[in-house]
Structure 1
């Protein structure tokens, strides 16, 4: 699907223009404390004219044939580009976790690397202390990865996905 820049995008969001759109695809989730599995994902990143991007992500477990089995993670959040060029990603999860990521865009290519600057957990949430994410546009596909430190484990690979832009 051809990509066109949104002419109504606020200028300060230009470093993230390549993220805007609806995306769908699949990935792999795993961690030392869970068995690896394939998942499907739908991701929407949009704006309403104000200086932030809204993000909504839904994932579901896939069986060996690629059929949806059950819902997995859900995230709602916001991307912001600060005056100093830093990029923030604020995420909330229905499992009682709030994350604030801070990072920078790669000056050579459409990619962003982020690390948690803060994590808040409800008393009932699983132990989770930090994360790192990378989002990048590779041959018109959105690739993203996440490492996390949780349940007594150090920062370790957790999720990766490859998404295509959808209409």
Structure 2
């Protein structure tokens, strides 16, 4: 973590993407502080939401609410999904993410090859929430690991580094001990992190 007073604080993160046949991925990320041995100290936060290709919805997609979708999906195979590729040879994305404390946001961005970049498109804050103006997130696959960077905007719209990590796929991270072998240091001094897929 990079915010004042917490620079280089080790933390862990479990990220899950699941898919159940609907045209989106369900997303959940649980973060927690770690001690120097990779033991969980306490939870930091949890966020959950949905990621999908940014495209006009049709009757085949179903919704809103319990309105059923058509029996035949709008994009039933890889060839039909390829028609959604943008002029930059990537796919436009939207992600709806809810945070505890009265904050929900829609991210807009693009996935191109092994890189995803998204920024806050719009934001809903309750009166109880902390100050938050939006953020930019970047993910990139490097040597089988997921490099991750999160910058948060202040009220003037200036971005500040918040957290970064190298996420490594593991078979299980549900116990209290994450083990010292899971986490390694990054050359740039960023935090260690892990992900379950």
Q: Give TM class, smaller chain.
A: 0.7 to 0.9
Deviates more, 1:151-160 or 1:109-118: 151-160
Residue ranges of structure 1 left out of the alignment (5+ in a row): 1-28
SS in 2 for 1:31: coil
Does residue 123 of structure 1 match 2:95?
Answer: no
Equivalent residue in structure 2 for 1:70, among 33, 42, 53 = 42
SS in 1 for 2:2: strand
TM-align CA RMSD: 1.7
The residue number in structure 1 matching 2:76 is none
Equivalent residue in structure 2 for 1:145, among 143, 146, 149 = 149
Counterpart Cα distance in 2 of 1:35 and 1:151 = 21
The residue number in structure 1 matching 2:97 is 91
SS in 1 for 2:37: coil
TM normalised by structure 2 equals: 0.64
1:6-155 equivalences in 2 (<5 Å): 29-32=1-4, 34-36=5-7, 37-83=9-55, 85-106=91-112, 109-150=113-154, 154-155=158-159
Structure number with larger C-alpha Rg: 2
Counterpart Cα distance in 1 of 2:24 and 2:33 = 30
TM normalised by structure 1 equals: 0.75
- How far apart are residue 118 of structure 1 and its match? 0.8
Q: Classify 1:63/1:151 alpha carbon distance in 2 versus 1 (closer, same or farther; 3 Å).
A: farther
Q: Structure 1: which 4+ aligned runs deviate by more than 6 Å?
A: none
- How far apart are residue 111 of structure 1 and its match? 0.9
Residue ranges of structure 2 left out of the alignment (5+ in a row): 56-83, 85-90, 172-197
- How far apart are residue 77 of structure 1 and its match? 1.0
Counterpart Cα distance in 1 of 2:45 and 2:170 = 20
Counterpart Cα distance in 1 of 2:44 and 2:155 = 18
Matched-pair contact (CA < 8 Å) for 2:133–2:157: no
SS in 1 for 2:101: coil
Matched-pair contact (CA < 8 Å) for 1:52–1:79: yes
Structure number having the greater strand percentage: 1
Q: How many residues align?
A: 136
